[in-house]
A and B are shown apart, each in its own frame.
Chain A
C-alpha cells in the first residue's frame, strides 16, 4: 500500500509552524520539521510521537543547504506531499528609522529563504505532478505601510513569487497556496504596534488545513481579513498615504 502522506514545515519550532505540525499530526501525516532551534523542534517531536516525525536543524539563510536538505528529507520519507514555508521575521523599525541591516535580514529570511526552498520543491513537484506548496505570507504584503516598509516588501514579494509558482505549476497538478494571516498570537506579534482581530496559532493552522483541502489559491486567516484587505487594496494612493494605517 502507499506510504502515509508527509508534510514538511520550514519554520516549525513555534507559532503557526508548530500549530500546523500539531494539526497535521492530528490528520495522521508524517512530519519533517525544519528550524534553527533544534531543542524546540525535538520538544515538539516528542509531543507528536504518535506520528513519524523527524527534526532537521537548519538556518534558512544558509541557502545552499536547502536543496541538499530537501533531497535528504525525500530520502528519509520517500515522499513529501505538503511543503509549508513558514520561516519569517519582523524586525521593528521606528517611524523615522531606516535600517538597511534589518531590511536585509528580513529579505534573507522571509523571501530569499523561501526562494531557496521552494525552487527545488517546485522542480520536484512539477516533475511528479502532485503536491501542495504553502507559503505563509501576510496581510502586510497587500499595501506598503509607513510602519514596516521592509517587512511589507518581503511579504509582497513572497506573495508575488507564490503567484508565479502557482501560474507555472497548477497545470502540472501542483497546488500552491498563499496564506495571508492577520494578527496571530505569536512571538512576532510582540513587535506589532496596534493589533485587533487577534487569533491563536491553532485557529490559523486549522484555517490553513481547510484551505489546503479545498485547494484554495489565497487564504486570509481569519477570513474577514480578505474583505478588509480588499477595501484597503482599492484605496487610492493619495488617500492611503494620509491615513494612519
Chain B
C-alpha cells in the first residue's frame, strides 16, 4: 500500500465555478513564499501533484486536482506597492480584481482588463490571461503586466518582464499554472477621469448582424459586447457598447467607492443574496425562452438605441449582481463552453453550433459574443475574430459532452481556439489540434526545465496535456 503522509484533516471539497465538478483534495493555504516551498516538499514526499488555485472561478477543471494537493493562494493577498503618480501597482497573486479597483479608484485608476466578475485573483487571471469586453482596445490582462516574480518547482525564483526572461514571461502567463507560481505581479493600470461609462444599447435580429456590428463599430467604443438569445433560431440579441466618461460635473465624487455599488435588493424587496433561488424555476428551456423573449422585446422597443450612464461596477460586473447565481443551475451545475473563431468563418460556425445545440434539445441558457484581437502568449486563446460563450445546464453529462465535441469539431474546422479557464469538454486530440505541435513542444520543453518532476498538475493537465 502506498502510504500518504498528509493529514486527513487537510482533505476538503474543491469545486469549479459552475459546481459541475466535485472533487476532494488536500488543500493548503500558504501566506508566504516559504510556505509554498514547504507544500511542494510535502507533496513530493507523499508522491502527490500540486495544482494552483486562486478564487476558484475557472468553469472547468483547471483549478481542481482530484485526490491530490491544491495550493489555494487566496491568503497571499497583500498589495505590496501602489504609485498613484504612475498608475503602477505591485500585488501578491491572491489579490482579487475587486481589491485592486477598490484600492485605486479614488486615485483615478481602474484595472485595464477585467472579467465579468470582480472576484478572480490576479494569479488566476494571469494563469489564464483573461480578457474583458474591451479586448479589441486593451488586449488581454497579460499585456498590462510590467513584471512578475515566480517560484518554479525546480526551486528557482525568477523575475520576468516582456524583455527579461521573456520566453518565461509569455509562457507563465496563459499556461494555467502549470509552470510556476506567481509570487508578485506588477501591473500598469488604466487612468480614468470619472467612474462612469455611457452605454449604447441596440437590438439586432440575427447573430450575423451582431457580429458585423461588433466588428464595424469596435473603434467607436471602449467596451463592446453582444448578448445572444440562445433559444432563437437566428441568435437575435442586443449589443452594448460603452465609453469611459471623461468629463462630468461631479467627476471626483463618481470615483468614490460609495458610488460604485451594486444594488442590495431587487425591486426594493428581494435581497440579492436570495435571488438565485428565484431564478431556479426558470432554468429550463421554457423558462429561459420566456425570459429571453421578454428581454429581447424590451431591448428592441423601450431600450432600442438608448444611451444611458452607468457606474463602472454596474457595467462591468454583471455576474456579481446575483451572488451565487451559478447555484440556480441545480446540483449538477453548469459548464461554460467558449470558442474563439477567426473573422472570416466565425458567423457561419457559430450559427451552426447554436442551431446544433437547439436541435439536440440542449440550448444554452446564456450566450455572449465579443470581438477579439490576437496576442503572443504561449497558450493564447485569442484570434483576430470573435468569441462566443454559451452556458449549458448539466442535465445529461454524456449527451452534453457529445454535443460539445461536435461543436469543437465545427470550431476547429473553422480555425478556432479554446480557453482553458472555461474548458471542461475538450479531448487530448482536439487540444493538440487547437494548440499545434510547435506550441506543445515548446510547452513540454519549458515544463521539463521549470518543473522536471512534473509536480504542478491539475485535472485539466491530466485530461489534455499528458
A-side residues, CB < 8 A to B, are: 1-3, 56, 58, 65, 67-72, 74-80, 120, 123-124, 127-130
| Pairs of residues from A and B, 5 with the lowest C-beta to C-beta distance, nearest first | A78-B66, A128-B13, A75-B67, A78-B67, A71-B4
Known: A1-B394, A79-B66. A71 touches B6 (CB 8 A): yes
What's the minimum C-beta distance from B67 to chain A, rounded to whole angstroms? 4
| Residue B135, interface by CB 8 Å | no
| Residue B8, interface by CB 8 Å | yes
What's the minimum C-beta distance from B264 to chain A, rounded to whole angstroms? 27
Are B21 and A3 interface neighbours, CB within 8 A? Answer: yes
Known: A1-B394, A1-B397, A71-B11. A128 touches B22 (CB 8 A): yes
- Among residues of B, the one whose C-beta sits closest to the C-beta of A4 is B397
- Among residues of B, the one whose C-beta sits closest to the C-beta of A69 is B1
Are B67 and A76 interface neighbours, CB within 8 A? Answer: yes
Are A79 and B424 interface neighbours, CB within 8 A? Answer: no
CA distance A166 to B401 in the complex (A): 36
Contacts of A120 in B (CB 8 A): 8
Contacts of B8 in A (CB 8 A): 67, 70-71, 120, 123-124
CA distance A202 to B397 in the complex (A): 29
Contacts of B66 in A (CB 8 A): 3, 77-79
Known: A1-B401, A1-B425, A68-B1. A74 touches B11 (CB 8 A): yes
Contacts of A128 in B (CB 8 A): 11-13, 22, 24
Contacts of B11 in A (CB 8 A): 71, 74, 123-124, 127-128
Contacts of B2 in A (CB 8 A): 72
Q: List 19 A-B contacts (CB under 8 A).
A: A1-B20, A1-B21, A1-B394, A1-B397, A1-B424, A2-B22, A3-B66, A68-B1, A71-B4, A71-B11, A72-B2, A74-B11, A74-B67, A78-B23, A78-B459, A79-B67, A127-B11, A128-B12, A130-B13
Are B9 and A123 interface neighbours, CB within 8 A? Answer: yes
What's the minimum C-beta distance from B430 to chain A, rounded to whole angstroms? 14
- Among residues of B, the one whose C-beta sits closest to the C-beta of A130 is B22
| Residue B48, interface by CB 8 Å | yes
Contacts of B425 in A (CB 8 A): 1
CA distance A65 to B1 in the complex (A): 9
CA distance A123 to B400 in the complex (A): 33
CA distance A77 to B66 in the complex (A): 7
Contacts of A79 in B (CB 8 A): 22-24, 66-67
| Residue from the set B6, B8, B23, B66 with the largest chain A CB neighbour count within 10 Å | B8
Are A1 and B22 interface neighbours, CB within 8 A? Answer: no
| Residue B335, interface by CB 8 Å | yes
| Residue B68, interface by CB 8 Å | yes
CA distance A69 to B4 in the complex (A): 9
CA distance A58 to B1 in the complex (A): 10
Are B3 and A124 interface neighbours, CB within 8 A? Answer: no
- B279-335 CB contacts (< 8 Å) to partner A: 332, 335
CA distance A221 to B21 in the complex (A): 34
Contacts of B48 in A (CB 8 A): 75
Known: A123-B8, A123-B9, A128-B13. A78 touches B24 (CB 8 A): yes
- Among residues of A, the one whose C-beta sits closest to the C-beta of B64 is A78
CA distance A130 to B23 in the complex (A): 11
Contacts of B23 in A (CB 8 A): 3, 78-79
Known: A1-B424, A79-B23. A72 touches B1 (CB 8 A): yes
Contacts of A2 in B (CB 8 A): 20-22, 332, 394, 397
What's the minimum C-beta distance from B466 to chain A, rounded to whole angstroms? 15
CA distance A118 to B232 in the complex (A): 51
Known: A76-B67, A78-B459. 8 other contacts (CB 8 A): A1-B401, A1-B424, A3-B22, A65-B1, A70-B8, A71-B11, A72-B2, A79-B22
- Among residues of B, the one whose C-beta sits closest to the C-beta of A78 is B66
Contacts of A80 in B (CB 8 A): 24
- Among residues of A, the one whose C-beta sits closest to the C-beta of B61 is A1
* A-contact bits for B1-38, CB 8 A (1 contact / 0 none): 11110101101110000001111100000000000000
Contacts of B21 in A (CB 8 A): 1-3
| Residue from the set A1, A56, A78, A124 with the largest chain B CB neighbour count within 10 Å | A1
